Amino acid sequence: MDFSIRSSILALLMVASIGASGIAQSVKGSQQDSPSLLLPQSQHVTGQVVGEDGNPIAKVRLYHIDTPGNLVTDSDGRFSFDTSAPTFVLQRPGFQSAFLRTGDASSLLIVLRKIPRSTSFPVCSDANPSGAAPGWSGVFQIPRTQGVKVSREVLDVDYWSRSIQMKSRSSLLQATQGRGPMWGGGEPKDELVWSSIRYREQTYELEGRLLTDAKWWLPNGTCSREIGVFSESVSYSNIDCGLTEPLDRVLDGICVIPQASKHLFP
């Protein structure tokens, strides 16, 4: 091989090697600059879940615990597990979920309270309720509300979505409604729950599926909320907590169409 060509190839290989090393160091540095939300050491947590009458509640799901599998309370309402998650949630359809900090949870007695209004999510009066904003073919129907602008649904490859907008204190507030086989929805990610300083959740059975209504408060003063079942949700995110009340009123008025399972994606 010609010496000049060989030298050029070697130079290019050296540049590529230095570039790759720089990228690796940059990635490693960014990882080091982003501390994990998990606790430095795993902690053993035990407890019992009871109702307001004092009777144990079985099959309460322990969620956001950084542990594989589906962990639930036994017939006596008891649970025991090891976790590095800083917070976790206990949930059962028809009850208000409990949000707990792992550092305070070595041995607990947790009282779950029933959802005040009912154990089922509100069902619309008919498949196309006159009180709902038009232009949505999914399960969740948004109430027709003065000052709230709801766009028509738009198809984007493998999901449908639309925006819900309203003005409050000279600010434009927006929520998003979406549905589709790849949409996901229904439950906040672990990292969001672990980052929360406050977390409120209610869960329901929707024709064999879990429907979650969750709101969380973050240290930076913003709030997010999501009402969802797998494949469809209505949510807003990262809005000043002092401005969310008008959007919450809209989300509080959501109902689901009758025979919802026929309209949910598998």
Strands 140-141 and 148-150: unpaired
**pLDDT for res 256:** 94
In this structure, are 247 and 157 located in the same domain? yes
In this structure, are 68 and 181 located in the same domain? no
In a domain, 219, yes or no: yes
Position 224: which residue type?
S
**pLDDT for res 162:** 97
In this structure, are 152 and 105 located in the same domain? no
The answer to whether 190 touches 68, Cβ cutoff 8 Å, is: no
- Of 114, 148, 176, which marks where a domain is finished? 114
In this structure, are 73 and 186 located in the same domain? no
In this structure, are 177 and 109 located in the same domain? no
In this structure, are 71 and 176 located in the same domain? no
In a domain, 106, yes or no: yes
State the total domains in the chain: 2
In this structure, are 259 and 200 located in the same domain? yes
**pLDDT for res 263:** 87
Where residue 68 sits, what CATH number does that domain have?
A: 2.60.40.1120
In a domain, 5, yes or no: no
**pLDDT for res 130:** 65
In this structure, are 80 and 157 located in the same domain? no
Q: pLDDT by residue for the chain (266 residues), tens digit each?
A: 443 444 443 343 333 333 333 323 222 233 333 348 999 999 999 999 999 999 999 999 999 998 877 899 999 999 999 999 999 999 999 999 999 999 877 778 999 999 876 667 999 986 555 688 988 999 999 999 999 999 999 999 889 999 999 988 778 999 999 999 989 877 899 999 999 999 999 999 998 899 999 999 999 999 999 999 999 999 999 999 999 999 999 999 999 999 898 888 87
In sequence order, what are the residues at sequence separation of 6 or more whose Cβ sits closer than 8 angstroms to the Cβ of residue 104? Answer: none
162 beta partners: 177
In this structure, are 172 and 242 located in the same domain? yes
**pLDDT for res 261:** 86
In this structure, are 110 and 172 located in the same domain? no
Q: Which two tokens stand for residue 1?
A: 């091989």
A 10 A CB-CB count for 133 gives 20
In a domain, 170, yes or no: yes
In a domain, 8, yes or no: no
58 lies in which domain range?
A: 43-114
In a domain, 184, yes or no: yes
In a domain, 178, yes or no: yes
* Predicted TM-score (pTM) above 0.85: no
Burial (0-12, 13-18, 19+ Cβ within 10 Å), 38? middle
In this structure, are 169 and 66 located in the same domain? no
In sequence order, what are the residues at sequence separation of 6 or more whose Cβ sits closer than 8 angstroms to the Cβ of residue 59? Answer: 72, 73, 92
Please give the Cα distance from 238 to 203 (Å, whole number): 22
In this structure, are 66 and 154 located in the same domain? no
**pLDDT for res 118:** 61
**How does 230-265 read in b/e, with b if 16+ C-beta sit within 10 Å?**
bbbbbbbbebeeeebebbeebbebbbbbeebeebbe
Please give the Cα distance from 233 to 179 (Å, whole number): 7
